Structure 1
């Protein structure tokens, strides 16, 4: 009597193991963690105050005392770069939260309710027809150059990106059999939207959120550089670059180090976002 061999399937690796297999994503997470920790522990790891003026030490080149040199007011550039991580990362995270609240809500309403789709879609198209930076400048100019207004303006600018993604996914999910079954047994519409639709589109929302995070940091730096962002009294990477441009020939370090911080932070977020896309969406998964 012959026996049939049943195929054995290896268990799927855990999420942590699959994450560790993506080296670029791990590097991005590690670099981002360094920025977060540096901003959180700024008072304990920086030797000077970010607002301490010392005219006698103005425009000093990088040295053992002032690692990144000093600016035109004698302030330590390394200290200001570290403190700026607090503001820049907070702005990026707050923009992601605000744009997610607005974009996910509009996308769910447009995708689930047919009568709301045309007006919401036209609104999103109108907002996306403007370049991001021009729309952000207009909103900040209208609201005023404060930290909260910058967050609100950038959140409005990036909300349509999430809304379009959520709308497209909702249009597909609302026609699936399990959604029709939930309607047939009398499940409420809000419960269906949250538990059956929103839960199934969290992956693209998370991925897009990391890209919005990176874009918001760049946009905040651009607004501050143009003088329409956060107040110059608040240390941010953009304001440091803006204040250092007039000394670019004789004190290149004032612009170089905050510029490098922006580039490295944005690149790490892009690596994390690309890794999340490959990790959460099987259509983009790569052979390891």
Structure 2
């Protein structure tokens, strides 16, 4: 006890300057200790690159998109709408089989099928991309507000019920009566009803996450609602959103094909994959003319399957559980 008491007295005799010193902050060292070279998107991309099939299909789709853009400007390309005639007889070159001049043959009125297929792919991709972007932007925005804000829940629910119960074909018929059948008409008709599935899906996911502890703590601290949605909620859904985005494009293209099949799509003079497949379907029972159905069907199948596989692979890569 004596030694302990003596030690205490020695410490008390020291000046406060010897016992305590002010801590000096170094901003550079603070940045060094808090720095991390981890990047979510870089990690996602690296994980995606491990899927060789998806990478190959991504390159294939990008090549198709690039080709359909530059195809009209390449040499020796024919017009997709011009009707070609036989120089000797003056008759239309109808149903000519694939050869060195007409690589994919001609259709029943003498138009070049090669140029029509790529023009139709260009049209269908345009419709698919525009409709998909609209569905994603509007669907995610309305779905996030619908799921997070209790004040907006009833109004958006009523709007959803109204739009959901209007068939797309009815909307397209009404739009065709108001406007002439065209690419713009199909895009508007698809956009009017296309966002509801995305909005409902996002809403259901937001409802599951909105009342978790970290979101309640953020609201208690006064964090704005938009910051909670974009920082706390949507990042958890990024993998699912990516999957829905990638599938929206082939779904829109498939819808265009279906609408053309039932006679509500683009006019025959406007090349599209829907029109080409619909024209080839009529000739399906004739073995010599099946190429008019096979070629556009192959292009449509490649695009649809590629987007599906790419979407699934990117969704898996974007899942934080797969990041290390």
**Aligned counterparts of 1:139 and 1:27: Cα–Cα separation in 2:** 38
| 1:194 matches 2:230 | yes
| 1:53 matches 2:88 | no
State the partner residue of 2:20: none
| 1:36 matches 2:65 | yes
Counterpart selection for 1:106 from 142, 146, 150: 142
The Cα of 1:141 is off from its aligned counterpart by: 0.6
For residues 254-265 of structure 1, the aligned pairs below 5 Å read 254-265=292-303
Structure 2, unaligned runs of 5 or more? 1-37, 87-92
**Aligned counterparts of 1:197 and 1:256: Cα–Cα separation in 2:** 45
Structure 1 stretches of at least 4 aligned residues deviating more than 6 Å after TM superposition: none
The Cα of 1:192 is off from its aligned counterpart by: 3.0
> What CA RMSD, in Å, does the superposition of the two structures yield over aligned residues?
2.5
Task: Rate the CA distance shift 1:169–1:245 in 2: closer, same or farther, 3 A.
Answer: closer
Counterpart selection for 1:143 from 160, 164, 175: 175
Counterpart selection for 1:78 from 98, 111, 114: 114
For residues 162-201 of structure 1, the aligned pairs below 5 Å read 162-201=198-237
**Aligned counterparts of 1:128 and 1:25: Cα–Cα separation in 2:** 34
Structure exhibiting the larger radius of gyration computed from Cα positions: 2
**Aligned counterparts of 2:175 and 2:248: Cα–Cα separation in 1:** 21
The Cα of 1:50 is off from its aligned counterpart by: 1.0
For the residue of structure 2 that corresponds to 1:114, the secondary structure is: coil
Task: Rate the CA distance shift 1:215–1:43 in 2: closer, same or farther, 3 A.
Answer: same
The Cα of 1:234 is off from its aligned counterpart by: 1.7
Task: Rate the CA distance shift 1:129–1:276 in 2: closer, same or farther, 3 A.
Answer: farther
**Aligned counterparts of 1:234 and 1:189: Cα–Cα separation in 2:** 46
**Aligned counterparts of 1:70 and 1:42: Cα–Cα separation in 2:** 18
Query: Normalization by structure 2: what TM-score?
Result: 0.75
**Aligned counterparts of 2:50 and 2:163: Cα–Cα separation in 1:** 39
For the residue of structure 2 that corresponds to 1:41, the secondary structure is: helix
Structure 1, unaligned runs of 5 or more? 1-10
**Aligned counterparts of 1:17 and 1:100: Cα–Cα separation in 2:** 25
> Would the aligned equivalents of 1:226 and 1:242 in 2 still touch at CA under 8 Å?
no
**Aligned counterparts of 1:266 and 1:176: Cα–Cα separation in 2:** 37
For the residue of structure 1 that corresponds to 2:65, the secondary structure is: helix
Question: For residues 206-243 of structure 1, what are the alpha-carbon distances to aligned partners after superposition, in whole Å with 9 as ceiling and x for unaligned?
Answer: 21011121111111111122221122222101111222
Question: For residues 236-259 of structure 1, what are the alpha-carbon distances to aligned partners after superposition, in whole Å with 9 as ceiling and x for unaligned?
Answer: 011112223333314222221111
How many residues are aligned here? 271
> Would the aligned equivalents of 2:239 and 2:316 in 1 still touch at CA under 8 Å?
no
